[in-house]
C-alpha cells in the first residue's frame, strides 16, 4: 500500500483499496494463517469520542494478528485533560506505537494528527466528517453480500448531514461504475454540499427522497443511520428529527428479495427489532466483516510504514477556516491549508468551502 496514512479513502489508490478488500476476504477464509502477522507491533487507539464497534474491532483485529495494544478511550484519564495539544499527544504516542488509530470530535483531526506523527495514522472518525474504516467494512460486506460494488442502487436513509459513515461511503462507491444514490432524509439532514459536488464531479447519478416507503422498492442496498444526537445544537432540534424514518417489517415487504440492509450501528429506533430476523438484514454480520477489513488494513499499512516525521507543510494561507467544527478552531498552531477552486477556498482538514 502506497499511502502512509488512512485519513480519507480518496487518498489511497483504487488498486490499494481493492487489495485490502481482497485480503480481508482471504483472512476471513483462513484467519489462522495470520495469527503472527503483526507480532512485535504495537497499536495505539486514541478515542476522544465514544465507540464500541470501531474501537473493539481495531483491538480484536490487532490481537488476532499477534500485535499488542496501548491507548485511551477516556481522554479525561490522559494528559488531554491537563490541556495537552493534539500535536504533543501524537508526537509522544507515535514514539511508543507502530500505528495509531484516532477518533476525535473535530473535523480534520486525523489529518492534523498525521502531520505530527512518526507512525501511520488511521482515521476512526473525525467528527461529522469521515469514517473511512467503516466504509472499508461496508465495502467488504457488499462485495460478499452482493457479489459486486458496481451497478448498485444505494439508498442512504437517516442523518445524511452528520453521518460521517454516509459521507465516506458515497465517496467510495461513486468511484465504481453505474452506482446510483438515493438520499433519503429530511431537508435539514441532507448531505453536505461537498458530497454533492463530489457526486457531480464523478458523474454519478443521484436523487433525493423524503419518503422511505416510496424509495425502498428500487434499492439494491439500504444504508440506514441513526440521527446523530451529539452533533445537534440543542435537544429540541434533535427531537424534531428523531423517528422520522423508521424501517419496519411493513416497509421491507415492499423491497426487492435481494435487498441488503446495512447499518454502521449503534441503532437507536430507526430499524425495528422485527427486521433483525429478515435474511436481508446484514448489520450484525457487517460488524464481523469489519474485523477482517481492519485486519487487512493493519497488515497493509504496517508493511509500508516508514518511521519518520512527515514533511513540513509549505503551501499555507493567511485566512482561517470558518467551520466551527474544524480542528483548526481548537488547535490554533495548525497551518491554514486550503485547496483553491475558481470560486472557493476549501479547507484541507474538514473540506468546508469558503467563498473567495
Looking at 102, 265, 271, 321, which residue binds ligand NCD (CB under 6 A)?
265
For residues 114 and 147, give the distance between their C-alpha atoms in angstroms, rounded to a whole number.
34
243 by Cβ neighbours in 10 Å (0-12 / 13-18 / 19+) ranks as exposed
**In the complex, what is the shortest distance from the CB of residue 180 to ligand NCD, in angstroms, rounded to a whole number?**
23
- Of 175 and 267, nearer to ligand NCD (C-beta) is 267
**In the complex, what is the shortest distance from the CB of residue 43 to ligand NCD, in angstroms, rounded to a whole number?**
17
**In the complex, what is the shortest distance from the CB of residue 355 to ligand NCD, in angstroms, rounded to a whole number?**
29
**In the complex, what is the shortest distance from the CB of residue 106 to ligand NCD, in angstroms, rounded to a whole number?**
14
Q: Which of residues 213-242 bind ligand NCD (CB under 6 A)?
A: 225-226, 228
Record the cell numbers describing residue 70, joined without a space: 496501548
Looking at 131, 294, 325, 352, which residue binds ligand NCD (CB under 6 A)?
131
Record the cell numbers describing residue 207, joined without a space: 436523487
For residues 87 and 85, give the distance between their C-alpha atoms in angstroms, rounded to a whole number.
5
Q: Which segments of 210-307 are extended strands (E)?
A: 221-224, 260-262
52 by Cβ neighbours in 10 Å (0-12 / 13-18 / 19+) ranks as exposed
For residues 70 and 98, give the distance between their C-alpha atoms in angstroms, rounded to a whole number.
11
Q: Which of residues 155-174 bind ligand NCD (CB under 6 A)?
A: 164-165
Q: Which of residues 51-90 bind ligand NCD (CB under 6 A)?
A: 53-54
- Of 223 and 338, nearer to ligand NCD (C-beta) is 223
CB–CB of 132/169 below 8 Å?
A: no
**In the complex, what is the shortest distance from the CB of residue 266 to ligand NCD, in angstroms, rounded to a whole number?**
6
- Of 164 and 251, nearer to ligand NCD (C-beta) is 164
**In the complex, what is the shortest distance from the CB of residue 136 to ligand NCD, in angstroms, rounded to a whole number?**
12
Q: Cα angle vertex 212, ends 156, 183, to 5°?
A: 30
CB–CB of 134/354 below 8 Å?
A: no
Task: Indicate whether 141 belongs to the interface with ligand NCD (CB under 6 A).
Answer: no
Residues that bind ligand NCD (CB under 6 A): 53-54, 125, 131, 134, 164-165, 225-226, 228, 264-265
Amino acid at each position: 500500500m502506497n499511502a502512509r496514512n488512512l485519513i480519507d479513502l480518496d487518498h489511497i489508490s483504487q488498486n490499494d483499496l481493492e487489495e485490502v478488500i481482497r485480503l480481508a476476504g482471504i483472512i476471513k477464509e483462513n484467519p489462522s494463517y495470520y495469527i503472527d502477522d503483526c507480532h512485535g507491533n504495537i497499536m495505539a487507539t486514541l478515542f476522544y469520542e465514544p465507540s464500541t464497534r470501531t474501537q473493539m474491532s481495531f483491538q480484536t483485529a490487532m490481537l488476532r494478528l499477534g500485535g499488542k495494544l496501548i491507548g485511551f478511550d477516556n481522554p479525561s484519564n490522559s494528559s488531554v485533560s491537563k490541556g495537552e495539544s493534539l500535536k504533543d499527544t501524537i508526537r509522544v504516542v507515535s514514539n511508543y506505537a507502530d500505528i495509531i488509530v484516532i477518533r476525535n470530535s473535530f473535523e480534520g483531526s486525523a489529518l492534523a494528527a498525521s502531520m505530527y506523527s512518526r507512525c501511520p495514522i488511521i482515521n476512526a472518525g473525525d467528527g461529522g466528517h469521515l469514517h473511512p474504516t467503516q466504509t472499508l467494512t461496508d465495502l467488504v460486506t457488499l462485495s460478499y453480500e452482493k457479489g459486486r460494488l458496481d451497478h448498485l442502487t444505494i439508498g442512504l436513509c437517516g442523518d445524511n448531514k452528520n453521518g460521517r459513515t454516509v459521507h465516506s461511503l458515497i465517496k467510495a462507491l461513486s468511484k465504481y461504475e453505474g452506482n446510483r444514490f438515493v438520499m433519503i432524509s429530511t431537508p435539514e439532514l441532507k448531505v453536505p454540499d461537498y458530497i454533492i459536488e463530489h457526486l457531480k464531479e464523478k458523474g454519478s447519478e443521484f436523487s433525493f427522497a423524503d419518503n422511505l416507503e416510496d424509495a425502498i422498492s428500487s434499492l439494491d442496498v439500504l444504508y440506514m443511520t441513526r440521527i446523530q444526537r451529539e452533533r445537534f445544537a440543542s435537544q429540541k432540534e434533535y427531537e424534531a428529527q428523531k423517528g422520522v424514518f423508521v424501517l419496519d417489517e411493513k416497509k421491507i415487504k415492499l423491497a426487492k428479495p435481494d435487498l441488503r440492509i446495512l447499518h454502521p450501528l449503534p441503532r437507536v429506533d430507526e430499524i425495528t427489532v422485527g427486521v433483525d430476523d429478515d435474511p436481508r438484514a446484514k448489520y450484525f454480520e457487517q460488524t464481523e466483516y469489519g474485523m477482517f477489513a481492519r485486519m487487512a488494513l493493519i497488515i497493509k499499512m504496517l508493511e509500508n510504514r516508514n518511521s519518520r516525521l512527515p514533511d513540513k507543510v509549505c503551501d499555507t494561507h493567511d485566512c482561517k477556516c470558518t467551520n466551527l467544527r474544524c480542528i483548526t478552531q481548537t488547535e490554533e498552531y495548525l497551518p491554514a491549508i486550503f485547496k483553491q477552486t475558481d470560486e472557493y477556498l476549501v479547507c484541507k482538514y474538514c473540506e468546508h468551502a469558503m467563498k473567495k
